[in-house]
Amino acid sequence: MNLPALLPTLLGLAWLLPLASFVLIVLWGKRMGHGGRCAGYLATLAIGTSAVLSFVALAAWLSQHPCVLSAHEVAEHAEHSSPPIAPVCGDWYTLGEFGSLRLTIGYYIDALSVAMFCMVTLVATCIHVYSFGYMHEELEEMTDPLAKLADGQPCRRPGRFYRFYQFLSLFCFSMLGLVIAGNLAMVFAFWELVGICSYLLIGFYIERKSASNAANKAFIVNRVGDFGMIIGLMAIWTGMGTFNFGDVPGAGPGVFSQVRPAANNYAPIVPDGMVALAAREEVAKIVAATPDKKLIAAQVPIWRAQGYGYWLLVVAGLGIFCGCVGKSAQFPLHVWLPDAMEGPTPVSALIHAATMVAAGVYLVGRFYPVFTPEVLMVIAYTGCITLFIAATIAITATDIKRVLAYSTVSQLGYMMLALGVGGWMAGLFHLFTHAFFKALLFLCSGSVIHATGTNEMPQMGGLWKKMPWTAGTMLVGCLAIAGAGVPTLAIGLSGYYSKDNIIAQLLSFGNQNPRHVWLFWVATIGASMTSFYMFRLWYMTFAGSPRNEHVYHHAHESPRAMVGPLVLLATLAICAGWTLLWPPFALQAFLEQARPAGMADGIGWASSLVMHPAEHLAHSTPAIHDTATFYAFTAALCGFLLATVIYGVRKINAEDIRRQFAPLHSFLVHKWWFDELYAMLFIRPVLWISQMAADFDRNVIDWLAEGAARLVAFVAQVDDFIDRIFVDGLVNLTARVTYAIGLRLRAVQTGNVRQYVMLLAIGLVALFVLTTFYWNFAFARM
Amino acid sequence: MDLLTQPVGLAHYLAVGTILFVCGVVCMAVKRNAVGILMGIELVLNGANINFVAFGAPFLRSDKQFAIGLDGQLIAIFVIVLAAAEAAVALAIALAYYNNHATIDVDRADELKG
């Protein structure tokens, strides 16, 4: 099978099908069936076909590169010596060429891309199907009780079913484009495009003030991260002269092989371009002395040894990570994600849990070879802070979707943390398992919201009797995210494997670098909190007796279109981490195929302070792996037991605890006062400056403009006066004189014929007389 | 110079023409009757005609080198034709005037006076 020809075709098609669906719905969506129902079928068909194509691509890939099931053999292999499996990369279309610089639409396909394609299309298909049930109100004209008009009446508007699917299709296209992208420029374009889709879908209920605010917040906060990303892109573009990830035939070495050349045994090295850029003063000196290019090339290794250009590599890595911080809602830009829950729940599941927010983690994973040890430490600490803050906030939140949102932020923090301490596979593996169980959890919460009409958990309770399927699948989701499993048999739900990998890597890292061992402890406490707030959520929603009889009475199990995807996702949440014997497949082993070769260590000043242990050590050393499993399991169990005691059997009154720790509770309920802090630090100054600008505009600029206008009016009045008095006066005088003369002369016209004849005769005689008298006088001299 | 003792020459014709012209003008000036005024006009025209014919007659002139051929007679005939046409138009006006005013007194036709 010819993979380099087959994969771009299959995945390219899978990528473009949602775009086709989007275009069709844009053009004819409104007329597709009753209320646009067929637009939904079209979008679902497109993404379903994409899913099929992605799985065909997966099968094709596996037939060529079968999974090696004893995972650490592969890891050991890859981290040390032999070259990794070459990715399929190339260009479809060249957008522009500027000398040796080229901008293209290209692809970079490795095991990670293929796995992401399968995950994104599968989850998206589930959510497309689910939305038929969840969004059915949008088929008719509907009343939105949460959107109040100015007179206090709820807003009544036509349904927007087709538009929902239109945005979903656009999102799928953008997300898949981001995954298949072969260069950073393309990544950035699709990065912004998913941001736009997120903005459009958060603001789907645009009539609600809170929704439009949340959409703006998400967009603006993401701009902050993207600003850093642009700086990173500039450093790469000037320093390396290319945006390509891989070595596209005929386009020179890509970013990865410039930073980690095979000649250097895949160890990181500052690329020549960056060295020359940083040492441009020395270069200028040499050029001024002798125009010999070879001399510069000979100097480059010396400059590199002196440390020239290293900061550019750090800037590139930090810049790219900055973008990931915004997109993946990491501290300090995590504030937008909980507010994004204003969007419809399927959107929260697809974009703000499973795929788009994971794009930041994906990009960190994809861009891993370029990160230096310093950048990795920044990533690890950002992830660690994020996971702790978000987990604490999730404990006190009462809005069911907000609990899940903070849990998403916290889990994304886990992934970043894992990537930052060298757990490349652990972080990305958690991305996949998290995508399945978090999509499941969100869809379950959507099912609950659909049934009860409220987001508030204190209004729920006892719903498992009414909605057994939802309750069951949600329990699976909770167990998966908490990492439930049987440690002695090493069997469990998907989260069990991925979280264990992370904790084990952290422990391994802590052993190597004792001063960073608290990263491990924070992650373990985080695991305990994860388990606590997830079961708190489940107990408050489904267990015990109903808190609100009215809500309970109205609740009902969701339609089959919603339950079906729940069951499928629950299945995946259970077994995404399992190793299949036939066909031989394990997600971990599959991801290992895409692991970037070599380690980040051995460069920069931080390499003397931190040391990233090889990931296979975490699996193969029983002292690490078993200890980590023990800690993770105990932590999760503690959280679960605490939740059971407080919310399950209600032995301890939660209200008492709240009163006991009132300051802490209020601190957490206000989300660590982040929104207020940002309001004080950024929003108010900006508003103040804009107020000043507005005042300046109104008082100075407007004054000038009005002064000019008044001057013109004055000049015009003077002109008017001159025109009226002098010019008009002259004309009128002529007319008046003529009129007066005419008035006098009219008396001559008597109408009497005889008088006329008389005058005629007299005149004739007078003429004769005059002529006779003056003839000689006038013409005498002739 | 006494015209009555001279043989008939150019001056005699001119005298007759002048008398006719003055009669015509006086007739126009004193008549209130539109037809009378028309008659006066005819007299004026014919007075002028006599002048034309007299100046045009070769045997009435002593200075042969300034003879003007038949031009005088020609213009006289032209004036006669003109007078005929003028009479036709003027009579039509008189008729129309009579239809509107039941009189042909021209003193009554002063509606357009200034």
The predicted complex's ipTM stands at: 0.82
At residue A81, the pLDDT reads 47
At residue B62, the pLDDT reads 67
Beta strands of A101-164 (E only): which ranges?
Answer: 101-109, 142-148, 154-157
What is the rounded distance in angstroms from the CA atom of residue B93 to the CA atom of residue B99?
10
Dihedral Cα A303, A304, A306, A309, nearest 10 deg: 100
At residue A513, the pLDDT reads 86
- Output DSSP code: residue A751: -
Chain A residues within 8 A of B30 when measuring between CB atoms: 754
Q: What is the DSSP string of A26-69?
A: HHHGGGSSGGGHHHHHHHHHHHHHHHHHHHHHHHHHHHHS---S
Chain B residues within 8 A of A753 when measuring between CB atoms: 28, 37, 106-107, 109
The distance from CA A338 to its chain's CA centroid, rounded to whole angstroms, is: 14
Amino acid at B110: D
Contact between B114 and A754 using a beta-carbon 8 Å cutoff: no
Residue stretches of chain A with pLDDT short of 50 = 71, 81
In B, what residues contact A, Cβ < 8 A?
A: 25, 28-32, 37, 106-107, 109-114
Chain B residues within 8 A of A745 when measuring between CB atoms: 114
Nearest Cα to Cα of residue A247 among A360, A369, A96, A363: A369
At residue A77, the pLDDT reads 53
* Cα nearest neighbour of A754 on chain B: B29
CB pairs under 8 A between A and B: 39
Is A602 in a helix, a strand, or coil?
Answer: coil
At residue A408, the pLDDT reads 93
In A, what residues contact B, Cβ < 8 A?
A: 745-754, 757-758, 760-761
- Output DSSP code: residue A228: H
Residues whose CB is less than 8 angstroms from the CB of residue A249 and which lie 6 or more positions away in sequence, other chains included = A90
At residue A112, the pLDDT reads 92
* Cα nearest neighbour of B22 on chain A: A761
Burial class (CB in 10 A: 0-12, 13-18, 19+), A418: buried
Contact between A757 and B111 using a beta-carbon 8 Å cutoff: no
Chain A residues within 8 A of B39 when measuring between CB atoms: none
* Cα nearest neighbour of A756 on chain B: B29
At residue A260, the pLDDT reads 85
Structure tokens at A196: 């736009």
Confidence category of residue B90, pLDDT binned at 50, 70, 90:
very high
| pTM of the complete model beyond 0.80 | no
At residue A379, the pLDDT reads 93
What is the rounded distance in angstroms from the CA atom of residue A563 to the CA atom of residue A349?
15
Q: Is residue B100 over pLDDT 50?
A: yes
Distance from CA of A765 to the nearest CA of B (A): 11
Tell me the HSE value of A148 on the side-chain side, using a 13 A CA sphere: 4
> How far apart are the two ends of chain B, measured CA to CA in Å?
49
| Spatial contact of A17 and A10, defined as CB atoms under 8 Å apart | no
Q: What is the DSSP string of A473-534?
A: HHHHHHHHHHT-EETTTTEE-HHHHHHHHHHHHHHHHHHH-GGGTHHHHHHHHHHHHHHHHH
Distance from CA of B22 to the nearest CA of A (A): 9
Nearest CB to B25; choose among A750, A752, A761 = A761
Nearest CB to B114; choose among A747, A760, A761 = A747
Domain ranges of chain B: 7-104
Architecture of domain B7-104: Orthogonal Bundle (1.10)
Distance from CA of A779 to the nearest CA of B (A): 23
What is the rounded distance in angstroms from the CA atom of residue B20 to the CA atom of residue B43?
6
Contact between B107 and A748 using a beta-carbon 8 Å cutoff: no
At residue B16, the pLDDT reads 93
Distance from CA of B103 to the nearest CA of A (A): 15
Distance from CA of A752 to the nearest CA of B (A): 6
What is the rounded distance in angstroms from the CA atom of residue A763 to the CA atom of residue A754?
14
Distances (CA, A) of A348 to A234, A458, A671, B97: 33, 21, 20, 104
pLDDT digits (tens, 9 = 90+) for B17-70: 999 999 999 998 888 899 999 999 999 999 999 999 888 887 776 666 665 667
